[in-house]
Structures are given as structure tokens and as C-alpha cells.
Amino acid sequence: MTTPKIPSTAQEVHLAARPDGDITLDHFAVVETEVRRPGSGEVLVRNEYMALAYAMSFMLSLEPDPDLPFPTFEVGEPLWFPAVGTVVASESPDLAVGDVVSHNLGWREYAVAAAEEFTKLDAGSLPDMKHFLAQQGPTAFWGVKSADIREGDTVFVSGAAGGVGSLAGQIAKCLGAKRVIGSAGSDEKVEYVVKELGFDAAFNYKEGSLGDRLAELAPDGVDVYFDTVGGDQFEAAMQNAAHGARFVLCGALSGKNPTLDLDPAVGRDVVIKGFSTPYTPDAIADWQRQFGEWLREGRIVFPHSVVEGGPEQAPKAFLGLLGGEYKGQVLVRLARD
């Protein structure tokens, strides 16, 4: 194998200031930094792609706290988030040059750390390296499974063009749902959800009465509601719940908690439940195995948007994600060639 050329410097993105309110480009700093060669037990990875997610907007505002179950972002230090790349230099017997790995040292072109901070991937288990960054796949997979999808079910997925919802609707079809309906925030996204993701129907939640729109598309009622937004869409789903419906709560991106008359839930025997995604190695492996099978069978697609241009484009891409500019999982191509 040809030894890859390693540059002396590369870009990485630091947290310039902790946001107190709206996040802007001023909260990020793109820094040119030395590419350090690995020491004993370490490897150097050339990052290819990084995932972005809404959760970062909350995490950016968190002050350091040892009681949190994850590391916080430090002002003046590189940001982190899931990424995939290729080992280009190794001083560890556990990883070799050419191995494809996943890790949490995104927001930079090159990452150097102890070998145990990287997970070697079976590059052939998924059709493309980007598929390993279907970060919201386990959430969609385990959430839909927890809804106990049954043959003949009508499923409603809110936020159907987003990273979780776009996969949740497809997974519901794979698990036997008869009809899958989605909501999205523009006519363009509605068309995308139906024509590219294979939903049976979708509607623009910004137009008309949500309850009436959903009633038109689900005349026999909603058997399963996969909720990613809360608010008015939760209320519309409750109005149209079939007897014995199962509501699975994934998120509340609308920022509004519904003030509901829950009589329909009682009278129609509706089950409302949250779920916890098991991000264990075995659970992730189960998802990737099933995801790979469905991809090869042509039963599912990976909805994603790729922003090119290296780490310097990542802050703008993140703000675009928060503004709803993209469809599906948002990825940044960290490699610049």
C-alpha cells in the first residue's frame, strides 16, 4: 500500500464563544493547526465525513459539568461530533493504515488519538462510507420497533423530511405498515418525502387545518404516530387516532408542549410512550446489519445532504441545518480533495 501523503497543517473548527441565545457564525473559529504524528498506541485518521444534528444546538450552551454523561464543548478547543475516516498513520497494533474507522473527533480534517478512541468498521457491511453516519438511524429503528408495527397499520410521521423522520417512515414500511403518511414544512419537502422516500402521502403542515389534512389522508384513523415535533401535530394525530393507536414520542422540535384534551386517548385506548435508544455496540451493529440488508434489497434509501468544502463550511452548514435548509441527515465532507 502506498504511504499516504500527510500535510503539515490542516483545518479544524473551535468553539469561539459559548452561545447565550441564537447561534451565529461568530460562535465558531476555523483554525489552521499542525497535524501531529501519532505517538505510541495512537493513530492518525484522515476524516472523510462528519454528521451534524440538532442536538448540538443544546450542547453548545452547556457549561463544563463532570456529572454529564458526555463531554461538553470547551471554548477555544476543537468541537467534536461523529465522523468517519481512514487511518493514514499508525503506532498501534490494533489499527492499520487503510482501516476505515468511526469516532467522535469530527470538525477537523485530521484526528490523532489513542487507538481505543476509534472503532474499526467493516467497510463492506454497508454500500458507502457515508452510510455509517446514519446517526439517527438507531433512533428511528428502535423507535419504530417500539411502536409494535402491525400489518395493515396506518402510520403518521411528523418531521418526515428530517434525519429521524425520513428513516422512520421507510422503516415502518419495511416492518409491514400498509400506509405511511408524513408531514413536512414545504411543498418541495412534501414532494421529496413521497417521490424519493416512498411515503404513501404527505402534507405541508404550514397550510390549512392539520386535523383536516390528516383526516383526508387517513380516513380510517392513525394506528401509529411517530412524533418528532410535538405541538399542533401531536394534537392533530390525537384527533385522528384509531382505536388502540400507539403514539411514540421521539422529540418536540416545535418547542411547544400540547395542551390537550386527552379524552380521545382514554376513549380510544391510545398508548402514549417515550423510548430510549440503546446505543450499545450490539444495538448499533443490529441496526447496521438490518440497514445494509434493506439498502441492498432496494427497500430503503439513506436520506442525506452533503455539504462540500472541508471544515470551514461546517459552521455555515450547521446554521443551515437549524434553519431547515436540508433534507435528511446532514453530512459535511471534511476531506478537501
pLDDT for the residue numbered 261: 60
Q: What percent of the chain has pLDDT over 70?
A: 95
Distance of alpha carbon 252 from alpha carbon 159, whole angstroms: 10
pLDDT for the residue numbered 106: 96
Model confidence over 51-65: pLDDT tens digits?
998 889 989 988 888
pLDDT at 1 over 70: no
pLDDT at 4 over 80: no
- Residues 60, 52 contacting (CB under 8 angstroms): no
Distance of alpha carbon 208 from alpha carbon 31, whole angstroms: 47
pLDDT for the residue numbered 74: 93
pLDDT for the residue numbered 114: 98
- Residues 83, 50 contacting (CB under 8 angstroms): yes
Supply the pTM of this predicted model. Answer: 0.81
pLDDT band at 265 (very low <50, low <70, confident <90, very high): confident
pLDDT band at 254 (very low <50, low <70, confident <90, very high): very low
Chain mean pLDDT for the chain: 91
Q: Tally Cβ neighbours within 10 Å of residue 69.
A: 4
Exposed (0-12), middle (13-18) or buried (19+): which is 297, by Cβ within 10 Å?
A: exposed
Residue the block writes with cell 500500500 = 1
Q: End-to-end alpha-carbon separation of the chain, Å?
A: 19
3-state secondary structure the chain: CCCCCCCCEEEEEEECCCCCCCCCHHHEEEEEEECCCCCCCEEEEEEEEEEECCHHHHHCCCCCCCCCCCCCCCECCECCECEEEEEEEECCCCCCCCCEEEECECCECEEEEEHHHCEECCCCCCCCHHHHHCCCHHHHHHHHHHCCCCCCCEEEECCCCEHHHHHHHHHHHHCCCCEEEEEECCHHHHHHHHHCCCCCEEEECCCCCHHHHHHHHCCCCEEEEEECCCHHHHHHHHHCEEEEEEEEECCCCCCCCCCCCCHHHHHCCCEEEECCCCCCHHHHHHHHHHHHHHHHHCCCCCCEEEECCCHHHHHHHHHHHHCCCCCEEEEEECCCC
- Residues 110, 35 contacting (CB under 8 angstroms): yes
pLDDT at 34 over 90: yes
pLDDT band at 260 (very low <50, low <70, confident <90, very high): low
Model confidence over 88-120: pLDDT tens digits?
999 999 999 999 999 999 999 999 999 999 999
**Looking at residues 281-285, what average pLDDT do you find?**
83
pLDDT for the residue numbered 225: 97
pLDDT for the residue numbered 266: 76
pLDDT band at 3 (very low <50, low <70, confident <90, very high): low
CA atoms within 13 A on the CB side of 178: 11
Distance of alpha carbon 55 from alpha carbon 154, whole angstroms: 29
Model confidence over 186-231: pLDDT tens digits?
999 999 999 999 999 999 999 999 999 999 999 999 999 999 988 8
Model confidence over 22-32: pLDDT tens digits?
999 999 999 99
Q: Nearest Cα to 315, choosing from 44, 64, 108?
A: 108
pLDDT at 176 over 50: yes
Residue the block writes with cell 418526515 = 160
